[in-house]
Amino acid sequence: MSPTPIFAADDVVVIGTSTGGVEALRILVGGMPAQFPAAVLIVMHVGHHDSILPSLLANSTRLPVRHARAGDVLEPGRILVAPPDFHLVVTRDEGSADGPGRFCRATLTRGARENHARPAVDPLFRSAATAYGPRAIGVVLTGMMDDGTAGLQAIKACGGQVMVQLPDEAQAPEMPESALRNVEVDRVLRLADMGRALEQMVEENMVAARNASREAPEWVRLENRFALEDGGMETLARIAAPSTFTCPECHGTLWELQGLSPKRFRCHTGHAFTERHLCAQQSEAVEESLWSAVRALAEKEKLLRQMADSAMNAGYPQTAGEYLEQAGSAQRSGEVLRRLLMTPGPEPAAA
């Protein structure tokens, strides 16, 4: 029996989501027609935890859906989901010249986390923009912070289209809102309207991009190469400049990517952060350090009181008194830090 022929997709839809994403994805893919004309790739922030997302989506769509496997050819009408703890990215076969997306494949990598996530949305979007150019469509759904914004900027820079979930409908509106603030978004829709709209956008791409080709801008190509191939300091230096900040993941110097808004940072090992994610990571690091200090002060107090007892039993009351004074100082310092950590933060500002 001859093998089933593979028809590579000339168009791709890449979708990113986080908080509230399961139900959002079920509604979106449920609205896609059975003969959807593009490949569909999905990243949801699941970290390293086991994921049954493909089976959950399979109950809602007529399209085949499963976790991506390394080397999968991207085919129209098939949904591939990023597996846990792997970035899902798009790579193009060497020598593939029959259209912008001809024989693009799914690649799985354990590369450095971006915005403290693996899988992350931006590596998928950026790689799809590089491989598919004007025939890539990016979609950002519900989620916290500003993941996906940089990836949508890459897709737009390469001539593709972008769609964002209506923030008022999103369980976590921050990702859509960030995209709307920083990207020239083509469509803002409710989930129930996205499936048919995506089919229309693919058809528009087929007409508009049939004879069009747009090379990815240097910053997109270089950042994509750096993330996928460990491009080295020379590549990073062409798109970024050293900052005064250090990477909260590996503690190396962070480099600020130039000419981008919102600001983003990368270290030479590949970790990447937006300003908001970097601030959140630094806040976590400060809290961890303070709790470690509380623990160390409590242990110091206990040890000094034991030393005071030993000194008193040995007939050295003056030394015992000095130890008790030091123990009291450690206790007071620990109480100050504990009160600081336990004090509630400010109330959120009214909308």
Dihedrals phi, psi of 310, to nearest 5 degrees:
-65, -40
Q: Which of 18, 51, 127, 178 is catalytic?
A: 18
Query: Tokens standing for 36?
Result: 């959807």
> Of 10, 11, 72, 147, which residue is the catalytic one?
147
Question: Is position 10 annotated as part of the catalytic site?
Answer: no
For the chain, the residue count is 351
DSSP-assigned beta bridge partners for residue 92 = 104
Q: Tokens 């790689």 sit at which residue?
A: 127
- Catalytic annotation present for 87: no
Q: What is the CA radius of gyration of the chain?
A: 26
186 in catalytic set: no
**Of 45, 116, 268, 277, catalytic:** 45
How far is it, in rounded angstroms, from Cα 37 to Cα 33? 9
Torsion (CA) 200, 169, 145, 159 in degrees, nearest 10:
10
> Which are the catalytic amino acids?
18, 45, 147
